Amino acid sequence: MQVMLIYLNENQLEIKTGGRLYALREYYKEDADLLIVNGYPVNDDQELNEGDHIIMIKRGEHPSAEELEILMMARHTPGVHEKLKHACVGIAGAGGLGSQVAFALARVGIGQLVIADYDIVEPSNLNRQQYFIDQIGMPKVIALQDNLQRINPGTKINTYHQKVTPENITGFFSDVNILVEAFDAADQKAMLTNHFLCNFPDKFLVAASGIAGYETSNSIRTTKISDHFYLCGDGVTAAEPGCGLMAPRVGIAAHHQANAVLRLLLNKSPE
């Protein structure tokens, strides 16, 4: 009997050459109602080929943490996933920038996030921050932790429901590989930047400035300020009457920050 190698839910499997999709489902997961072959959903039976990647899912069934990691690793490739899995990223601020950076990093499989913020979820936050109506009144770090665990239970979340000050920055973020600055106020941004870069000259800081309003998306960019300091935004546009913080532009800047973190962890320049 001739056999061939395929991948079922990203686990290697030898089957008889000429095997068919529905027969495979009947044997391994007969209750699966979503079949994906080589990245595309299929609705009909078909012959399988050497090297095919088949995903079988039962709607409403949650994969285990181990299964989820395997499926995510397939998207990123094992080498990339291993680097992200062992990374620790700090996020100072859990508002419009910080909550969206955290969502993006959890989705790519960062192994550990350290998040600090003293604020609570308010109704006005819902215009741009990754929270929900039923979380109003909760500490942001607690609400965010709950949301992140629903996205990727494999990411370890450490939270501090405290205001970040020069006295506690070291205690909060000494173990991170990279720190994301996600504050609103200019004085807080300056405080964090100066303290972190002075005390951790070999660690990277990814900050943001100039993200308000609804100016063109293309004005937001990632700029290298120094060897270990990158800034995302247009550097100019501040929140003021008639020019508030809005979800699209804040989200663009946050994802610039998240992508800068990703590239730094993979030893690539964010610019």
Domain ranges of the chain: 3-61, 79-265
Strand partners, 226: 229
Global pTM value = 0.85
Distance CA 173, CA 267 (A): 21
> What was the pLDDT predicted at 38?
87
pLDDT tens digits for range 190-226: 999 999 999 999 999 999 999 999 999 999 999 999 9
pLDDT over 70 at 78, yes or no: no
What residue type is assigned to position 3 of the chain? V
Which one-letter amino acid corresponds to residue 109? G
Contact at 8 Å (CB) between 219 and 212? no
Number of H helices, E strands in the chain: 8, 12
Superfamily of domain covering 3-61: Beta-grasp domain (3.10.20.30)
**Token couple for 177:** 């590989």
DSSP 8-state secondary structure symbol assigned to residue 63: P
Alpha helices in the chain (DSSP H): 21-28, 65-76, 78-85, 96-108, 140-151, 169-173, 186-199, 247-265
Q: What is the pLDDT of residue 172?
A: 97
The pLDDT tens digits of the residues spanning 103-132 come to: 999 999 999 999 999 999 999 999 999 999
Element (H, E) at 71: helix 65-76
Report d(CA 194, CA 186) in Å as an integer. 12
Instruction: List pLDDT tens digits, range 127-165.
Output: 999 999 999 999 999 999 999 999 999 999 999 999 999
Q: Match domain 79-265 to its CATH number in 3.50.50.60, 3.30.460.80, 3.40.50.720, 3.30.310.10.
A: 3.40.50.720
CA distance 153 to 157: 9
